[in-house]
């Protein structure tokens, strides 16, 4: 069958990627796009903002929305912000991809499921990390039992990290997008600024390397982002809440921050396709993660 570009109608729509933290939503987005735009790590709360990843192929444009992940904590203003961000996509997308981790169904998955039922969008269930399932014979009975939880449009076992079964997942997604013109230019990859992406890459390096407590009490602000002499000059300020956290970040004689800076700079050079000069500073700002005003100044806007 021919697929003549001039006669096939265009399809375009928003696809929310939802699920509890740490199931691999951001990893999936990066591999679907074939480029790293969303930061990932083993720690929950790595993703803090909804962000778009746009994939245009032939007559189809899928606008993926990566979300922070629904979780149970309500204690901090930051946690409440993360849940609000994640909840918006249930209402504002055409289609949802619900990601779960192998055969470990948890209470937080159940919370997401309740929300999915409420908003009545078509839902594709993606069972991620199947590369880590040792006994594959258990998968089929599991799929059968899980299919009873709600009327899923499709169920796709996959591995985001190993790029397994992403083609079939994309097929299921593409075929369900509404027929309408593209919302974004064909070459646009995301809705986020380069400044935002730079801050996220710094945050990723810190989240991956440092202890469990620090990442949640840390945020990054890009104070300068300028191109001069074919080189991007970027100044990043890392805000933490306590002097002790500042010490951890700096490391002995500043060795840790230098290492973090080198890693972040390499990723920036790949993403921006340019030479980068990166300076990083650490500042203490007490209580920013439970102070709505400070959060707004640091980019956590509603």
Ligand X SMILES: Nc1nc2c(ncn2[C@@H]2O[C@H](COP(=O)(O)OP(=O)(O)O)[C@@H](O)[C@H]2O)c(=O)[nH]1
Q: Which residues bind ligand X (CB under 6 A)?
A: 19, 21-27, 40-42, 46-47, 69, 128-129, 131-132, 159-162
Closer CB to ligand X, 60 or 300, in the complex: 300
Tell me, residue by residue from 8 to 37, as one string, x for binding to Mg ion by CB under 5 A and - for no binding: -----------------xx-----------
What is the C-alpha to C-alpha distance for residues 32 and 158, in angstroms, rounded to an integer?
12
H and E: helices and strands count for the chain: 9, 9
Torsion, Cα 253 257 258 259, to 10 degrees, reads 120
Shortest Å distance, C-beta 66 to Mg ion: 6
What is the C-alpha to C-alpha distance for residues 207 and 83, in angstroms, rounded to an integer?
20
What is the C-alpha to C-alpha distance for residues 196 and 225, in angstroms, rounded to an integer?
10
Look at the block and give the residue holding tokens 């083993």.
Answer: 42
What is the C-alpha to C-alpha distance for residues 246 and 114, in angstroms, rounded to an integer?
40
Query: Which does residue 42 bind out of ligand X, Mg ion, none, counting CB within 5 to 8 angstroms by kind?
Result: ligand X
Look at the block and give the residue holding tokens 């209580």.
Answer: 287
φ and ψ at residue 290, rounded to 5 degrees: -120, 30
Query: Which does residue 160 bind out of ligand X, Mg ion, none, counting CB within 5 to 8 angstroms by kind?
Result: ligand X
Collapsing DSSP to helix, strand or coil, 137 comes out as helix
Residue of this chain nearest to ligand X (CB atom) = 24
Shortest Å distance, C-beta 99 to ligand X: 6
Shortest Å distance, C-beta 131 to ligand X: 5
Query: Which does residue 297 bind out of ligand X, Mg ion, none, counting CB within 5 to 8 angstroms by kind?
Result: none
Closer CB to Mg ion, 48 or 246, in the complex: 48
Q: Nearest CA to 64 among 192, 249, 248? A: 192
What is the C-alpha to C-alpha distance for residues 20 and 196, in angstroms, rounded to an integer?
24
Closer CB to ligand X, 11 or 55, in the complex: 55
Number of residues that bind Mg ion (CB under 5 A): 3
Look at the block and give the residue holding tokens 């593409």.
Answer: 174
Query: Which does residue 13 bind out of ligand X, Mg ion, none, counting CB within 5 to 8 angstroms by kind?
Result: none
Using the Cα atoms of residue 82, residue 86, residue 87 and residue 92 in order, give the sign of their dihedral: positive
* Segment 47 to 66, residues that bind Mg ion, using CB under 5 A: 47
What is the C-alpha to C-alpha distance for residues 30 and 44, in angstroms, rounded to an integer?
17
Residue of this chain nearest to Mg ion (CB atom) = 47
Tell me, residue by residue from 253 to 292, as one string, x for binding to Mg ion by CB under 5 A and - for no binding: ----------------------------------------
Query: Which does residue 21 bind out of Mg ion, ligand X, none, counting CB within 5 to 8 angstroms by kind?
Result: ligand X
Tokens in use for 100?
């779960």
Query: Which does residue 27 bind out of ligand X, Mg ion, none, counting CB within 5 to 8 angstroms by kind?
Result: ligand X
Query: Which does residue 265 bind out of ligand X, Mg ion, none, counting CB within 5 to 8 angstroms by kind?
Result: none
Residues that bind Mg ion (CB under 5 A): 25-26, 47
């Amino acid at each position: 069958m021919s697929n003549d570009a001039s006669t096939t109608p265009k399809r375009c729509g928003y696809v929310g990627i939802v699920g509890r933290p740490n199931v691999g939503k951001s990893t999936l987005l990066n591999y679907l796009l074939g480029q790293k735009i969303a930061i990932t790590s083993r720690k929950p709360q790595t993703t803090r903002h909804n962000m778009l990843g746009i994939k245009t192929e032939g007559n189809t444009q899928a606008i993926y929305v990566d979300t922070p992940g629904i979780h149970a904590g309500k204690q901090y203003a930051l946690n409440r912000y993360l849940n609000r961000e994640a909840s918006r996509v249930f209402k504002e997308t055409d289609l949802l991809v619900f990601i779960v981790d192998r055969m470990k169904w948890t209470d937080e998955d159940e919370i997401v499921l309740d929300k999915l039922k409420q908003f009545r969008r078509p839902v594709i269930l993606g069972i991620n990390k199947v590369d880590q399932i040792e006994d594959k014979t258990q998968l089929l009975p599991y799929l059968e039992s899980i299919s009873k939880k709600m009327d899923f449009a499709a169920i796709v076992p996959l591995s985001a990290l190993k790029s397994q079964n992403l083609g079939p997942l994309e097929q299921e997604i593409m075929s369900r997008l509404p027929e309408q013109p593209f919302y974004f230019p064909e070459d646009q990859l995301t809705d986020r600024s380069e400044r935002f992406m730079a801050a996220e890459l710094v945050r990723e390096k810190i989240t991956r390397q440092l202890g469990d407590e620090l990442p949640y009490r840390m945020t990054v602000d890009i104070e300068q982002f300028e191109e001069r002499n074919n080189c991007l000059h970027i100044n990043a300020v890392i805000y933490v809440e306590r002097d002790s956290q500042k010490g951890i970040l700096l490391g002995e004689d500043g060795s840790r921050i230098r290492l973090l800076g080198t890693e972040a700079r390499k990723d920036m050079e790949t993403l921006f396709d340019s030479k980068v000069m990166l300076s990083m500073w650490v500042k203490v700002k007490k209580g920013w993660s439970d102070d709505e005003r400070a959060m707004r100044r640091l980019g956590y806007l509603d």
